[in-house]
Homo-oligomer: A and B are copies of this chain.
Amino acid sequence: MNSLSEFNEFRRPQLFEKLSEESQQRILECSVLRDFERNRLLVQQGDTPRFVYLVLNGSIRTFRISEEGEEATIRMLEPGDTCMEAVMFMGGPSPINVQTIKNTKALMIPERIIKILVLEDAQFAFNLLKIVTRHYKNAMHQIDAMNIKTPLKRIGYYFLLKHLEHGNDKLDFKLPFEKQMVANYLGMTPETFSRSLKQMRAMGITVDDDTIKMKDAYSLCHFCDADTASLCPAHNTENCHLCTRH
């Protein structure tokens, strides 16, 4: 692969943000573009990390698996996202599995160029830092979600994030993944997920197959918290119901 043209379709990968043309070229020269069928296991727990995967289309999930075979989803990637960058710097074998959940085209960036470039290009290191800290922040939300929130609230918070991503002017959005996948990501069974969705109808949120519709733009405000509010354009305006309630 020798150009970034493929990336124009979606948001520019954070990995390349503000990166010099030279560094971009060095990465692309070493990297390989590949197609994977659905459900293909790309990395297993215990493998030594060899590549960073940049999703071009399709989707990928990362997860851990216990000896009893139960799975805990860590992340679900959409086009433009990367995985395994963090694992590279952990030292030791990979603590996670990586698997496609749709047919997926991904750019494989070798471990070596990542490690080299990090020590030579401060901007690249900075980008990696921002990416990894974003993952970490996400992980913290997952942790307190499972600790203190009811299934209903976990789903509500997840929907709120998706709603903000899709632009807060739209009153509906689609789930980017299968329900059982989302359920596992949120740490509950598909049954509990399904039952909780029914409860949400009482709050003005209806679910039609994989489409989530809200009665008004503030239906999800109940699930907002302080450090999520800063992502909301209506935050600190009179429109923010949450703020007026506080």
How many interface residues does chain A have, given as a range?
A: 35 or more
Within 8 A of B (CB), among A123-159: 123, 125-126, 128-130, 132-137, 139-144, 146-149
Tell which of B46, B123, B140 touches A95, judged by Cβ atoms closer than 8 Å: B140
A202 within 8 A of B: no
A-B contact pairs, 21 of them (CB 8 A): A45-B226, A66-B148, A68-B148, A70-B147, A70-B148, A72-B143, A72-B148, A74-B143, A87-B133, A89-B129, A89-B130, A90-B133, A93-B226, A95-B137, A119-B122, A121-B122, A132-B133, A136-B139, A142-B143, A143-B187, A146-B187
**Which residue of chain B has the shortest Cβ distance to A123 in the bound complex?**
B119
Counted per complex, copies of this chain come to 2
A139–B143 CB distance below 8 A: yes
Residues of B within 8 Å of A146, CB to CB, are 143, 146-147, 187
A120 within 8 A of B: yes
A225 within 8 A of B: yes
Complex: how many Å from CA A118 to CA B226?
28
